[in-house]
C-alpha cells in the first residue's frame, strides 16, 4: 500500500451477519466497498454481497485510518469470530 494513501474500515456483526465498509483513498477521491456476509440462522445459507462505489468525499471521515498491519489483524479476528463449530 502506498504510504500516501490511507484506508478506513468499520464493521459490525449481529445475528451472524457482518456488515463492513472499507474506504480506500485513491488519486482523485475514494473507493468505497460495502460488504454484507454471513448466515442468520442454522438453516440459512451463507450469503456474501459486495458493492463498490467511487466518491469525492470520505464517508468515514473523522475516524482513524487503519494501517496495513491493523487491517490484516482485524480481518483475521473478524473471521475467527464468525466461525461456527
pLDDT digits over 35-79, tens only?
Answer: 999 987 777 788 899 999 999 988 888 777 765 555 555 655 665
19, β-bridge pairs: 12, 36
Report residue 3's pLDDT band, with 50, 70 and 90 as the boundaries.
low
pLDDT of residue 42: 75
Say yes or no to pLDDT of 22 above 80.
Answer: yes
Cβ within 8 Å of residue 38, ≥6 positions away? 13, 16, 17, 18, 46, 47, 82
Query: Residue 85: what pLDDT?
Result: 46
48 CB-near residues (< 8 Å, 6+ apart): 35, 36, 37
Amino acid at each position: 500500500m502506498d504510504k500516501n494513501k490511507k484506508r478506513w474500515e468499520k464493521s459490525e456483526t449481529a445475528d451472524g451477519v457482518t456488515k463492513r465498509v472499507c474506504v480506500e483513498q485513491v488519486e482523485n477521491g475514494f473507493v468505497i466497498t460495502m460488504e454484507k456476509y454471513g448466515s442468520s440462522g442454522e438453516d440459512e445459507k451463507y450469503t456474501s454481497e459486495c458493492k463498490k462505489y467511487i466518491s469525492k468525499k470520505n464517508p468515514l471521515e473523522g475516524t482513524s485510518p487503519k494501517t496495513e498491519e491493523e487491517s490484516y489483524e482485524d480481518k483475521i479476528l473478524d473471521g475467527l469470530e464468525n466461525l461456527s463449530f
